[in-house]
C-alpha cells in the first residue's frame, strides 16, 4: 500500500466526489421533470448504514452549497440521535449553517415527518426513503412493478385498499399512505403518517426523495397535485387527536404519545419539536406545561 | 492559440461553481417559467455562450453522451467541451443524454432525440438551447407542475413550430424531452410536464 | 413533570468513547498491530477484501481492528472508503491460466497436467483444538517446489477439447462490461454484472443458497472441475503505450463447477459451467458462488425456475450484506411517529369491535327474552 492509512481522510466538499454529484444531479432533474417517477441512480456506499438515510444524505449532498441553511429531523424532532448524527455529518463535510427553525432552513432533510410550519417557495424538503416502490408489498418483483407503472396499471393497489375496507371497515394504512402525483404516477410518500399527506399537495416547496439502498430518486415539484388514493364511499381522512399538545396547546398537529409511568399514565405532545418550542416561546401553554403545573414535587 | 481556447475558460472554482449553476437549473426545472440568474462562470469559445457552457460543465461527463448541433460541431467549442467535461459525442441524437444547441432556430425536430421508454422515461435527451433572450420573444403562457396558476416567458430564438412540437412532446408523457433555455446571465426550463397555452385558446 | 429528552449529541459522543474503550480492552494487554492482523488473520482479511471489493490488506486490517473483529462492519468500512476513490480505468481481464498456483484440486480427474496441489488448506486437518498454538511454537519452513514456469491448464479447457462442455459464455460484440458499483442494477442482469454481485455477495448467504441446490432446491449435479488459488497479474491498457502496463499481482480463488446437463431444444447434452472468482483465499465462497451462478443460469439454459437459488431478483437483491445489515438494523431507529399512527388505529378498531360485540350481546338477550 502506497498511502499510509493515516493520510486517508481527505474528502470533497459535501463528501461526494464531483462525478457522483453530477450523476445524482442528473437524476434529480429527471425526477422533477417526471413527477412521482422513480429514477434509478447509481447510489453510493455512504459512511452511514443503508436504511439510515443514505438516499436523503446523497440528495442533500448533491444540492447543498455554502449559502444553505440545513435542518435535519427524524420523527419530527431535531434532537433524535440519527438527526443529530446526520446534521453533524454535514457540519463536518460541508461546514454548512444549521438550524432547528423550519422557517429559516433552505434545505430540510427529514425522516417520517413533514414540519407543521408551512413550507415556502425556495425551500427544499429532502425525504429519506426506505422502500420507494408503493407496489412493493403487493408485488415483490421490480420487473413486474416497473411494468405496472409503465402501463399505469394500479388496480392491485385499489384492490388492496378495498380489501382493508371489507375486513376492517376502513383503510388500515396509517403511514406510507400511497398518493397519485399529477394524475399519473402512484408514489410512496415515504413512511410519514398519512396525517402529513395533505401537506404534499400544491406545496410551495420542492420535495425530493432519496432511497439509497434501493437506488431510486424521485421528486414532487412545487405546486403539484398530490392526491391520496381513496374511494368515493370511503374518502381519505387524516388522523385526528382528541386533545391538544400537553406542552404548547397546539391543535391540528401530529402528536406523540409519551409514557409517564408504568401505570398507564401518558400525555400527548407535538411530534414537531421546533413547532412546539416556537409556540411555547410565544407564550402558548398546554395543560401539562411546566409553567402551569406546580413546581416539581 | 486554438489550444489555449480549449484549455482556458472552465470553472474557476469547479466544486462551488457547479453547485451554483446546478441550483439555478434545478430551481428553473422545478418552477418552469421562472428566470434564474446565472453569473458568468465559464468562458467557452464561440459560438458557445457562457451560460450554455456553464450548464454543460455542470451536468455533462464521461457517462453522458452529448449531441452538438451543426454550429458547435465545427467550432472550437467541441474540443473545449471534450476537454472540460470528457463527455463522448453521441453518434445519433437518439443516443444523446444531452443536446447542446447554439442555433435553436435550425434545430432538427424534437422527436429525433431520445424520448425514453414507457418503463424508463428518464432515458431521454435533455436539450440545452442557447437563446438570446428570455423576454424578447413571443410570450409563452405556461401551466403544469411547478406553476401555481400560470407563468409567462418569451424566449427567442426557438426551434421552428416549437409550440406545436411541444404539444406533441407533452402527448408522449411520461416519455419526452426536457428543455433548458440558456440565456445571457440566466436560465429557464421547460420540463416535459409544462403545457404551453396558445393565445387563441 | 415531563421534560423532553435532549442531549442526543452528548449521548452519541459518550457512546463512541465507550466504544473506543471496549475496542482497546484491557490496557495491560498489548494492542494489536495491523501487520499482525494482516499476517495472522489472513483469511479474515481476504473476506473483507472480497466482500468489500477493495484489494488492500492493510486497509482491511485497519477495518477489522476498528470493527472489533465484526467482519460485516469491517466490509462496510472498506466499502464506504472505496466509493470515494477516483476511478483510473479498468484492467484487462485477469488470466487465471497464467496463475502462479498455490493450490489446485480437481474432483473430476484423478490426475491431470500440472497435478493436484493441496497447498495451504484446512482439508484433512483433524479439527482438534491445538493448545500448543497458545505458546507461539516454532513453525517449520514449508516445503516448496521450484516453479517450473509451466502453465497449469484449466480443467474446463481439457473438457472443451472433447467438445463435452459448453463454450465460455460469449457476450455480444458491442457489450461494455458492466460495473455494479457505478450503475443501478436492472433485472434481468447480464452475466458479467451478476457475477460481480455474487463475488461481493455475503459468504454465508451464498453458502446457504449453494447448499440448498445440493439438497434438491434447483439441483444441478455439480462436480468441482477445479479450484485454484494463487496470484495473477493485473494489466492495464494505457492508450499512449503499445503494450499493457503491469500494475502488480493479486491473489484470487477461482472455482469452475462442472454440471451435468441433459440438453434442450437449443443445445446438445453436454456439461455446463458455474463460475466463482473471489479476492484472496476463500474456497468456500468461490464454490458457493459457482453453485449460485449455475443455478441462476436456469433461464438461459431453458430449465424450470422453481427454487430460490434460481431466482435472480431474489438472490441478487438480498446478497449484499452491507445493504442487508443496514436495513435490518435500521429497525432500531425511532419509529414512534408511525407506531403512534398504528396505535391509534388499533385502539379505534378495538373500541369499534367491543361496541359491535355489546350490541350483538344486547340483541341476543332481547331476542331471548
What is the pLDDT, as a whole number, of residue C329? 95
Cβ <8 Å between A25 and B30: no
Q: Categorize the per-residue pLDDT at C2 as very low, low, confident or very high, splitting at 50, 70 and 90.
A: very low
What is the pLDDT, as a whole number, of residue A10? 63
Instruction: Count CA atoms closer than 13 A to A252's CA, side-chain side.
Output: 3
Whether residue C201 is found in the same domain as residue C306: yes
What is the pLDDT, as a whole number, of residue C319? 98
Q: Residue A193: which of C79, C185, C337 has the nearest Cβ?
A: C337
Whether residue C64 is found in the same domain as residue C162: no
Task: Summarize the confidence of residues C237-253 as an average pLDDT.
Answer: 93
pLDDT digits (tens, 9 = 90+) for B8-52: 999 999 999 999 999 999 999 999 999 999 999 999 999 999 999
C3 part of a folded domain: no
pLDDT digits (tens, 9 = 90+) for C110-122: 888 888 999 999 9
Percent pLDDT > 70 in chain A is 95
Grid cell digits, residue C50: 472480497
Answer yes or no: A276 catalytic: yes
B29 vs A: CB within 8 A: yes
Contact B163, B196 (CB under 8 A): yes
Contact C225, C260 (CB under 8 A): no
- Distance (Å) from the C-alpha of residue B48 to the closest C-alpha of chain A? 21
Note the residue count of chain C. 369
Instruction: Mark which residues 235-274 of C lie under 8 Å from A by CB.
Output: none
Q: How does DSSP classify residue A263?
A: T
- Residues of chain B scoring pLDDT < 70: 1-4, 199-201
Answer yes or no: A36 catalytic: yes
C275 part of a folded domain: yes
Q: In what order do the strands lie in the sheet with B195-197?
A: B151-153, B140-143, B195-197
Note the residue count of chain B. 201
pLDDT digits (tens, 9 = 90+) for C257-272: 999 887 777 777 889 9
Most A CBs within 10 Å, among C333, C343, C347, to test the A interface: C333
pLDDT digits (tens, 9 = 90+) for A232-244: 889 999 989 999 9
C236 part of a folded domain: yes
Cβ <8 Å between A18 and B23: no
B108 vs A: CB within 8 A: no
Q: Residue C330: which of A40, A52, A79 has the nearest Cβ?
A: A52
**R_g over Cα of chain C:** 27
Residue C26 burial (CB count, 10 A):
5
Percent pLDDT > 90 in chain A is 82
Q: Is B14 exposed, middle or buried (0-12, 13-18, 19+ CB in 10 A)?
A: middle
What is the pLDDT, as a whole number, of residue C217? 94
Whether residue C101 is found in the same domain as residue C162: yes
Cβ <8 Å between A15 and C84: yes
Q: Which helix (H) or strand (E) holds B70?
A: helix B70-73
C321-329 helix and C71-82 helix, angle to the nearest 10 degrees: 110
Instruction: Mark which residues 35-64 of B lie under 8 Å from A by CB.
Output: 58-64
pLDDT digits (tens, 9 = 90+) for A92-132: 999 999 999 999 999 999 999 999 999 999 999 999 999 99
Whether residue C201 is found in the same domain as residue C314: yes
Grid cell digits, residue C279: 479476492
What is the pLDDT, as a whole number, of residue C281? 97
C101 part of a folded domain: yes
What is the pLDDT, as a whole number, of residue A249? 96
Whether residue C48 is found in the same domain as residue C197: no
Q: Residue A258: which of C2, C328, C329 has the nearest Cβ?
A: C2
What is the pLDDT, as a whole number, of residue B119? 97
Q: Residue A257: which of C329, C343, C352 has the nearest Cβ?
A: C343
The mean pLDDT value of chain A amounts to: 92
Task: Find residue C165's DSSP bridge partners.
Answer: C271
Whether residue C188 is found in the same domain as residue C56: no
Q: How many domains does chain C have?
A: 2
- Distance (Å) from the C-alpha of residue A222 to the closest C-alpha of chain C? 25
> Among C164-168, C204-208, C326-330, which stretch is predicted with the lowest mean pLDDT?
C164-168
Q: Is the ipTM of this complex over 0.90?
A: yes
pLDDT digits (tens, 9 = 90+) for C134-143: 999 999 999 8
C57 vs A: CB within 8 A: yes
**What is the interface size between A and C, counted as CB pairs within 8 Å?**
151
Domains of chain A: 18-228 (3.40.50.11310), 240-289 (no CATH)
Instruction: Mark which residues 99-128 of A lie under 8 Å from B by CB.
Output: 121-122
Grid cell digits, residue C250: 493479486
The mean pLDDT value of chain C amounts to: 90
Instruction: For residue A216, list chain C residues with Cβ-Cβ distance below 8 A.
Output: 184
Whether residue C246 is found in the same domain as residue C276: yes
Task: Summarize the confidence of residues A173-191 as an average pLDDT.
Answer: 96
Chains that touch B (3 or more CB pairs under 8 A): A
Catalytic residue among A56, A248, A249, A286: A248
Spatial neighbors of B119 by CB under 8 A, at least 6 apart, are: A146, A147, A149, A150
- C278, pLDDT greater than 60: yes
Kind of pairing between the strands at A97-98 and A107-111: unpaired
Q: How does DSSP classify residue C217?
A: T
Task: Find residue B176's DSSP bridge partners.
Answer: none
**Single residue among C303, C324, C345 that ends a domain in this structure:** C324
Q: Residue A39: which of B30, B62, B122 has the nearest Cβ?
A: B122
Instruction: For residue A143, list chain C residues with Cβ-Cβ distance below 8 A.
Output: 187-188, 313
- Residue A136: strand, helix, or coil: coil
Cβ <8 Å between B174 and A12: no
Instruction: For residue A176, list chain C residues with Cβ-Cβ distance below 8 A.
Output: 338
**Single residue among C52, C82, C112 that ends a domain in this structure:** C82
Contact C193, C178 (CB under 8 A): yes
C339 part of a folded domain: no
Q: For residue A110, is the peptide bond before it cis, meaning its omega torsion is within 30 degrees of 0? A: no
- Looking at per-residue confidence, does C5 or C293 come out higher? C293
C89 vs A: CB within 8 A: no
What is the pLDDT, as a whole number, of residue B1? 42
Contact C273, C296 (CB under 8 A): no
- C369, pLDDT greater than 80: no
Task: Summarize the confidence of residues A127-156 as an average pLDDT.
Answer: 95
Answer yes or no: A245 catalytic: yes
Cβ <8 Å between C62 and A142: no
- A1, pLDDT greater than 60: no
Q: Which helix (H) or strand (E) holds C226?
A: strand C222-236
Cβ <8 Å between B22 and A63: yes
What is the pLDDT, as a whole number, of residue A206? 98
What is the pLDDT, as a whole number, of residue A292? 73
What is the pLDDT, as a whole number, of residue C149? 63
> B88 φ, ψ to 5°?
-70, 150
Percent pLDDT > 90 in chain C is 66
C159 part of a folded domain: yes
Answer yes or no: A51 catalytic: no
Grid cell digits, residue B39: 453569473
C214 part of a folded domain: yes
Most B CBs within 10 Å, among A32, A38, A42, A67, to test the B interface: A32
What is the pLDDT, as a whole number, of residue A297? 41
Whether residue C116 is found in the same domain as residue C262: yes
Cβ <8 Å between B145 and A147: no
Grid cell digits, residue A98: 444549521
**Single residue among C289, C306, C324 that ends a domain in this structure:** C324
Task: Summarize the confidence of residues C325-335 as an average pLDDT.
Answer: 94
What is the pLDDT, as a whole number, of residue A166? 85
Q: What distance in Å separates the CA atoms of residue B101 and residue B48, rounded to the nearest whole number?
A: 9
Task: Summarize the confidence of residues A55-74 as an average pLDDT.
Answer: 97
Cβ <8 Å between C340 and A271: yes
Cβ <8 Å between B193 and A34: yes
What is the pLDDT, as a whole number, of residue A134? 96
Q: Which helix (H) or strand (E) holds B85?
A: helix B76-85
- C185, pLDDT greater than 50: yes
Cβ <8 Å between C330 and A246: no
A64 → chain B, closest CA residue: B19
Q: In what order do the strands lie in the sheet with B178-183?
A: B36-37, B186-190, B178-183, B126-130, B98-101, B66-68
Whether residue C222 is found in the same domain as residue C294: yes
Chains that touch A (3 or more CB pairs under 8 A): B, C
Q: Categorize the per-residue pLDDT at A9 as very low, low, confident or very high, splitting at 50, 70 and 90.
A: very low
Q: What distance in Å separates the CA atoms of residue B71 and residue B106, rounded to the nearest whole number?
A: 10
Q: What distance in Å separates the CA atoms of residue A269 and residue A77, rounded to the nearest whole number?
A: 12
Helix boundaries (H) for chain C? 8-24, 34-40, 42-52, 57-66, 71-82, 155-161, 191-199, 203-214, 283-296, 312-317, 321-329, 336-368
Whether residue C19 is found in the same domain as residue C113: no
Distances (CA, A) of C168 to B115, C265, C365: 36, 19, 79
Residue found under cell 481492528: C65
What is the pLDDT, as a whole number, of residue A225? 98
Spatial neighbors of C152 by CB under 8 A, at least 6 apart, are: C97, C99, C101, C104, C113, C114, C228
Most B CBs within 10 Å, among A20, A29, A33, to test the B interface: A33
- A6, pLDDT greater than 70: no
Whether residue C216 is found in the same domain as residue C271: yes
What is the pLDDT, as a whole number, of residue B199? 61
* Sequential DSSP letters for A141-189: -HHHHHHHHHHT--HHHHHHHHHHHHHHSS----BS--EEETTTEEE--
Whether residue C159 is found in the same domain as residue C259: yes
- C72, pLDDT greater than 90: yes
B179 → chain A, closest CA residue: A33
Distances (CA, A) of A253 to A83, A118, A242: 21, 12, 11
Contact A93, A47 (CB under 8 A): no
Q: Residue A19: which of B61, B147, B174 has the nearest Cβ?
A: B61
Residue C290: domain span? 96-122+150-169+177-324
Domains of chain B: 2-197 (3.40.50.11310)
Amino acid at each position: 500500500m502506497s498511502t499510509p492509512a493515516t493520510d486517508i481522510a481527505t474528502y470533497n466538499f459535501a463528501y461526494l466526489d464531483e462525478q457522483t454529484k453530477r450523476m445524482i444531479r442528473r437524476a434529480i432533474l429527471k425526477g422533477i421533470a417526471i413527477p412521482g417517477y422513480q429514477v434509478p441512480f447509481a447510489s453510493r456506499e455512504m459512511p452511514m448504514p443503508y436504511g439510515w438515510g443514505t438516499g436523503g444524505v446523497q440528495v442533500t449532498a448533491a444540492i447543498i452549497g455554502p449559502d444553505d441553511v440545513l435542518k435535519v429531523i427524524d420523527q419530527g424532532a431535531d434532537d433524535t440521535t440519527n438527526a443529530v448524527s446526520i446534521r453533524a455529518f454535514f457540519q463536518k463535510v460541508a461546514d454548512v449553517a444549521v438550524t432547528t427553525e423550519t422557517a429559516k432552513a433552505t434545505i430540510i432533510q427529514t425522516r417520517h415527518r413533514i414540519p407543521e410550519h408551512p413550507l415556502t417557495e425556495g425551500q427544499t424538503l429532502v425525504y429519506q426513503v426506505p422502500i420507494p416502490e408503493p407496489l412493493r408489498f403487493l408485488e415483490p418483483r421490480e420487473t413486474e412493478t416497473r411494468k405496472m407503472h409503465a402501463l399505469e396499471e394500479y388496480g392491485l393497489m385499489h384492490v388492496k385498499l378495498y380489501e382493508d375496507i371489507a375486513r376492517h371497515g376502513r383503510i388500515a394504512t396509517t403511514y406510507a399512505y400511497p398518493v397519485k402525483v399529477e394524475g399519473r404516477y402512484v408514489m410512496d410518500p415515504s413512511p410519514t403518517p398519512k396525517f402529513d399527506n395533505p401537506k404534499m399537495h400544491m406545496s410551495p416547496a420542492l420535495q425530493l426523495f432519496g432511497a439509497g439502498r434501493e437506488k431510486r430518486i424521485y421528486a414532487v415539484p412545487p405546486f403539484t397535485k398530490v392526491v391520496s388514493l381513496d374511494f368515493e364511499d370511503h374518502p381519505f381522512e387524516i388522523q385526528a387527536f382528541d386533545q391538544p399538545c400537553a406542552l404548547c396547546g397546539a391543535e391540528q398537529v401530529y402528536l406523540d404519545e409519551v409514557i409517564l409511568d408504568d401505570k398507564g399514565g401518558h400525555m400527548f405532545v407535538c411530534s414537531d419539536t421546533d413547532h412546539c418550542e416556537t409556540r411555547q416561546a410565544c407564550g402558548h401553554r398546554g395543560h401539562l406545561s411546566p409553567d402551569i403545573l406546580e413546581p416539581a414535587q | 492559440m486554438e489550444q489555449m481556447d480549449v484549455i482556458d475558460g472552465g470553472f474557476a472554482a469547479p466544486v462551488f461553481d457547479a453547485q451554483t449553476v446546478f441550483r439555478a437549473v434545478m430551481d428553473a426545472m422545478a418552477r418552469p417559467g421562472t428566470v434564474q440568474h446565472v453569473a458568468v462562470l465559464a468562458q467557452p469559445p464561440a459560438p458557445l455562450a457562457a451560460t450554455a457552457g456553464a450548464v454543460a460543465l455542470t451536468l455533462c461527463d464521461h457517462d453522458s453522451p452529448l449531441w452538438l448541433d451543426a454550429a458547435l460541431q465545427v467550432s472550437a467549442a467541441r474540443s473545449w467541451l471534450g476537454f472540460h467535461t470528457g463527455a463522448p459525442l453521441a453518434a445519433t441524437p437518439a443516443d444523446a443524454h444531452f443536446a447542446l444547441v447554439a442555433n435553436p432556430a435550425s434545430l432538427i425536430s424534437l422527436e429525433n432525440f431520445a424520448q425514453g421508454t414507457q418503463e424508463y422515461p428518464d432515458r431521454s435527451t435533455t436539450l440545452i438551447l442557447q437563446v438570446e433572450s428570455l423576454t424578447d420573444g413571443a410570450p409563452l403562457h405556461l401551466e403544469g407542475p411547478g406553476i401555481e396558476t400560470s407563468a409567462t416567458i418569451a424566449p427567442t430564438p426557438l426551434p421552428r413550430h416549437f409550440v406545436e412540437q411541444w404539444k406533441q412532446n407533452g402527448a408522449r408523457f411520461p416519455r419526452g424531452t426536457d428543455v433548458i433555455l440558456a440565456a445571457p446571465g440566466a436560465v429557464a426550463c421547460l420540463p416535459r410536464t409544462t403545457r404551453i397555452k396558445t393565445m387563441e385558446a | 413533570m415531563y421534560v423532553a429528552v435532549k442531549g442526543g449529541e452528548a449521548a452519541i459522543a459518550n457512546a463512541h468513547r465507550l466504544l473506543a474503550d471496549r475496542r482497546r480492552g484491557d490496557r495491560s494487554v498489548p494492542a494489536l498491530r495491523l501487520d499482525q492482523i494482516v499476517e495472522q488473520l489472513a483469511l479474515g482479511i481476504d473476506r473483507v477484501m472480497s466482500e468489500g471489493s477493495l484489494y488492500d490488506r492493510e486497509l482491511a486490517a485497519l477495518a477489522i481492528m476498528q470493527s472489533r473483529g465484526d467482519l460485516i462492519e469491517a466490509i462496510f468500512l472498506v466499502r464506504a472508503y472505496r466509493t470515494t476513490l477516483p476511478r483510473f480505468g479498468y484492467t484487462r481481464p485477469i488470466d487465471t491460466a497464467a496463475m502462479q498456483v498455490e493450490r489446485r484440486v480437481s474432483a473430476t480427474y484423478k490426475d491431470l497436467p500440472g497435478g493436484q496441489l493441496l497447498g495451504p488448506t484446512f482439508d484433512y486437518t483433524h479439527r482438534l483444538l491445538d493448545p500448543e498454538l497458545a505458546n507461539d511454537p516454532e513453525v517449520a519452513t514449508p516445503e516448496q517446489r521450484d516453479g517450473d514456469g509451466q502453465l497449469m491448464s484449466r480443467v474446463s479447457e481439457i473438457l472443451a477439447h472433447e467438445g463435452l462442455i459448453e463454450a465460455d459464455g460469449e457476450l455480444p460484440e458491442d457489450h461494455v462490461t458492466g460495473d455494479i458499483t457505478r450503475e443501478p442494477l436492472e433485472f434481468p442482469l447480464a452475466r458479467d454484472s451478476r457475477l460481480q454481485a455474487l463475488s461481493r455477495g455475503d459468504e454465508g448467504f451464498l453458502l446457504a443458497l449453494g447448499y440448498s441446490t445440493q439438497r434438491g432446491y434447483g439441483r444441478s449435479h455439480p462436480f468441482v472441475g477445479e479450484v485454484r488459488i494463487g496470484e495473477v497479474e493485473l494489466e492495464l491498457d494505457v492508450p499512449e503505450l503499445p503494450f499493457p502496463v503491469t500494475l502488480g499481482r493479486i491473489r484470487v480463488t477461482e472455482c469452475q463447477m462442472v454440471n451435468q446437463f441433459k440438453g434442450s431444444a437449443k443445445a446438445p447434452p453436454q456439461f455446463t459451467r458455474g463460475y466463482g472468482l473471489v479476492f484472496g483465499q476463500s474456497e468456500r465462497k468461490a464454490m458457493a458462488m459457482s453453485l449460485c451462478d449455475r443455478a441462476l443460469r436456469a433461464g438461459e439454459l431453458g430449465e424450470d425456475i422453481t427454487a430460490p437459488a434460481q431466482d435472480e431478483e431474489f438472490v441478487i437483491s438480498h446478497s449484499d450484506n452491507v445493504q442487508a445489515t443496514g436495513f435490518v438494523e435500521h429497525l432500531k431507529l425511532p419509529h414512534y411517529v408511525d407506531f403512534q399512527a398504528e396505535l391509534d388505529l388499533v385502539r379505534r378498531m378495538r373500541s369499534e369491535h367491543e361496541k359491535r360485540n355489546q350490541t350483538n350481546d344486547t340483541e341476543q338477550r332481547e331476542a331471548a327474552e
